[in-house]
Structure 1
Amino acid sequence: MRILGIDTSGKVAAAALYDTEAQCLLGQQVVYTKRTHSQVILPLAERLLADTGLTWQEIDGLSAAKGPGSYTGLRIGIAAVKAMAYALQIPCAGVSTLEGLAWQNLAWNGIICSVMTARQSLVYAGIYESDGSVIRTIQPDRILPVAELDQLLETLEKPVLLTGDGAEQLEEKSWLKVASPATRLQNGTGICLAVQDGTRWISPDVLMPEYLQLVKAEKDLQDKKAAK
């Protein structure tokens, strides 16, 4: 099965193509950009297909980062995958951005903390464990203060691998290892690997982003209600 995975959850736009039968990453396109993801992600995917000599009709499944992350970026990525899945009549899947970051670091044997910047002193974080072949969730994704995450990490089996753009916000400790630049930011590979067992496929109509916090319009409405 050939899986095209895309991630538009942060400042990096990424697309990766994985062959489950060959257990091979066929290609990858990643760009750190200030342009909107709507301008970047489809050209990235098309370039990836051109480089591998494949057509859209040879893709068997589509996977997207569903959050947390940039509200706008996530909506763009989810909308693109839904549209492609409808057009190609193939299944799709949504993967936690944080879980995808953990899968990118599958070679690490032990605890992985995926952490992304949220707002002010808050971060998104998920705790995972890798045995070198499979990632399993230890603590589900949530949004919390950096100081609280620091305390949580103290309770975990050590060493811990940190990955994601929020890794450097945490206090330096000898047992905290930061992932290499090649796997620290979203690259699309983990979004493919997370769905390779085929258990997560869904129809595009039920694929939705998961933000972990209220969007701005919801926050404003909540504030107005609280002020009354």
Structure 2
Amino acid sequence: MIILAIDSSSKVATVALMKNHKLLGEITLNDKKEHSVILMNIIDNLLKLNNLTIDDIDGYVVSKGPGSFTGLRIGMATIKGLSFGSNKPYVSISSLDALALSASNFDGIICPIMDALRNSVYTSLYKGHPSLVASEIPVTLERLLDFSALDIDELIEIIKSKNEKVIFIGDGVDKYKDYLIEHCPNCYFPPNHLNLVRASALGEIGYSLIENGEFDDPNSTPFYLKKPQAEREYEQRMK
């Protein structure tokens, strides 16, 4: 089985191809180009590099959020179009789950943080557990905190209450690393390249779901956790 996975939930555009749990290739761009301009070109280039066409794809994986409102809509619309056009299934996975998987061997709390602006982050908390089944993902994730949009100080207080070592991962690390080191004892950080959401991590989770016949409803939508800034500003003016 061959699947194509994409994530456009942040300024990163990332696409991966996987076959039988093996990564065939991945292209990740970390810049500010519009995803609507580059995403299909990345998909086409990755398929050509692997001597494949869209007809060879058996299923799709896409980020459902949280993250950029525009980026999420572009990613979901792209995958829905490919899925419906080929009559192949798709699944949507949280970018936070994908980030946590990249740090899943850490023997403490895993805390992905994605910058949500205004001194807040999109986040969740996880523990990684090694799998004893060879056909499954080597490490499964236990979610300790539901997907949340939290003020960074609120998150730090939650972390402190756990009284465990914690690893922070995600694009929020670049913005808050010094502050976290100062205010959050016993914290760790991964190599910088792991702070980018990877389509390969998203695909690894989604591959197992597709393999088990767990598909998204065609009407599934992204989740944002926060209202769009324009809507928040409008509500503020109307108070």
Asked if Structure 1 and Structure 2 have the same fold, meaning a TM-score greater than 0.5 normalized by the shorter chain, the answer is yes
Residue 74 (str. 1) matches residue 72 (str. 2): yes
- Contact 1:129-1:135 at 8 Å conserved across structures: yes
Partner of 2:7: 7
**1:52/1:105 Cα in 2 relative to 1: closer, same or farther (>3 Å)?**
farther
Q: How does 1:65-214 map to 2 (within 5 A)?
A: 65-132=63-130, 133-156=139-162, 158-168=164-174, 169=176, 170-172=179-181, 173=184, 175-198=186-209, 200-203=214-217, 205-214=218-227
Cα separation, partners in 2 of 1:84 and 1:116, compared to 1, 3 Å? same
Q: How far is 1:96 from its partner? A: 1.1
Q: CA deviation at 1:17?
A: 1.4
In the alignment, the residues of structure 2 paired with residue 157 and residue 196 of structure 1 have an alpha-carbon distance, to the nearest angstrom, of 34
TM-score (norm 1): 0.90
TM-score, structure 2 as length reference: 0.86
On the 8 A contact 2:104/2:110 being kept in 1, the answer is no
What SS does structure 2 have at the residue aligned with 1:195?
helix
Letter in 1 for 2:29: V
Shift of 1:100: 1.4
Matched, 1:37 2:18: no
RMSD value, Cα: 1.8
Fraction of identical pairs, as percent: 29
Number of equivalent positions: 223
Q: Please list every run of 5 or more consecutive structure 1 residues that lacks an aligned counterpart in the other structure.
A: none
Q: Match of 1:201, SS?
A: coil
